[in-house]
Amino acid sequence: MNASLELWGGVECTVNRVGNVWRDQVQLSGHDARLDDLDLIADLGIRTLRYPVLWERTETAPGVFDWRWADARLARLRELGIRPVVGLVHHGSGPDWTDLLDDAGFARGLARFAGAAAARYPWVTDWTPVNEPLTTARFSCMYGHWHPHRRDEGDFWRALLNQMDAVRLAMHAIRAVTPAARLIQTEDFGVTSGTPPCRDQIRHENLRRLATWDLLEGQVTPDHGHYAHIGSFGLQDRLDAFRADPCPADVIGLNHYATSDRFLDHRLARYPTHSHGGNGQIAYADVAAVRVLEAPMHGWTWLLDQLWTRYGRSIAVTECHLGCSADQQIRWLADCWQAAQAARLAGVAVEAVTVWALLGSHDWNSLLTRTDGHYEPGALDVSSGVPRPTTLANAVAHLAKTGGLRDAPAHCEMAPVGWWRTPERFEPAPA
């Protein structure tokens, strides 16, 4: 375990596709044209940065790479003394000649790109070939929000396995260049609860949320609760391949949001129709648990302990972000940081907490299905086109300097309690 808890940063960099329209967060934030954003990030005290060298942005035609943007930015990161955690696919489905359901082309194509990136930047040691593959598979092939817009559970599992194959093959290619390269595998980690009639679906979802890391560990064996279920879609051979050639994460990347925890309720009339769904056997509403449950969320400490108990591997909170006012953002970060420190004292190998979306994020209110101008500031507010440090930036700089926020000065004002623990969080049931 590192001598002290590290503070990392991250740039929201999703490139997703809706129909034939591509949405690029780096362009929406203006970061694609502002190299000196990296100097502003360095001024915050960030010394490790999750940063994109995305497949979709770099391989302009099969085998044709345009490295100019990545070259300039990775060179500047080296000059600033910032270690990058390089991401290759971030909620994307690859360039336009492949997609998540391309059983051979997606994984092999990403592996070739990963090998080329490693050869160009052999000094990079930390990699995330595919960010949140389970979440991407859900949004693209179970809910149909993103390309290839499918709503089929079999396609969901295929999309997940194709991404996991891509991670494994990409790391093989990277380690052929840099043998000590680390896999930082991120995934959203929430807890599902609900009413008793939904218990089978609750059990299914609470196991499914672990699939990304379970697959890499080679743990989806015949005695795993999902082995037979996934195999029923004709995918047993794919599972067995992971058992034979696992690629465990060097660092478990925990991403968690205030709405990551879900509540399933069979009493549909209590909830708006957009929350209604089902599994073919029972209909239920799927809502954010924080909006309906009296008991507070499990919290960061519980989540870290769960991952440590299951995998026994180093953990980093790879996305700590809240789309809210700056004082609430600081409270969310402080709660996470304090929980990570407490977990370390309890023996959990927590490596870092990452301040995510330093430049803010665009259109996540619609899950990136629309471009309607909705912007959530981060530590830097780029809404005017000129990055402006927010109160959160002051808090991040103070945290980087002192290792804590309890003694933060007035210009780092923190909410006394997070909205996720106040009565105002509850959403009224329809009349």
DSSP string, 51-79: EE--HHHHEEETTEE--HHHHHHHHHHHH
Residue 406 reports pLDDT greater than 90: no
Q: Which pLDDT tens digit goes with each residue over 274-315?
A: 999 999 999 999 999 999 998 766 799 999 999 999 999 999
**Residue 197 has what pLDDT?**
98
Mean pLDDT for the stretch of residues 322-332:
95
Residue range 106-117: average pLDDT?
A: 98
CA dist 225 and 118 (Å) reads 36
Find out whether 161 and 141 touch, Cβ atoms under 8 Å: no
Indicate whether 267 pLDDT > 60. Answer: yes
What φ, ψ does residue 225 adopt, rounded to 5°? -60, -15
Residues 6+ apart with CB under 8 A from 110: 55, 88, 89, 94, 129, 130, 166, 169, 170
pLDDT (0 to 100) of residue 318: 98
Burial of 225 (C-beta count, 10 Å sphere; 0-12/13-18/19+): middle
User: pLDDT value at position 428?
Assistant: 63
What is the reported pLDDT for 431?
A: 37
Per-residue burial over 303-313, b if 16 or more Cβ lie within 10 Å, else e, is bbbebbeebeb
Q: Which residue has the higher pLDDT, 423 or 233?
A: 233
Q: Fill in the DSSP letter of residue 50.
A: E
Please give the pLDDT value at position 296: 67
Confidence band for 210, pLDDT divided at 50, 70 and 90: very high
Residue pair 77/49 in contact (Cβ under 8 Å)? The answer is yes
Residue pLDDT, tens place only, 356-400: 999 999 999 999 998 888 999 999 999 999 999 999 999 999 999
Contact 356, 319 (CB under 8 A): yes
Domain ranges of the chain: 6-293+301-318+335-353
pLDDT for residue 405: 87
Please say whether the dihedral angle defined by the alpha carbons of residues 230, 233, 235 and 240, taken in this order, is positive or negative. positive
Which of residues 171 and 430 earns the better pLDDT score?
171
**Is residue 383 packed enough to be buried (19+ CB in 10 Å), middle (13-18) or exposed (0-12)?**
middle
pLDDT of residue 366: 92
Summary mean pLDDT of the chain: 95
The reported pLDDT for the residue numbered 410 is 77
* Position 430 pLDDT exceeds 70: no
Pull the structure tokens for residue 265.
């309720």
Given 3.30.565.10, 3.50.50.60, 3.20.20.80, 3.20.19.10, which CATH number is that of 6-293+301-318+335-353?
3.20.20.80
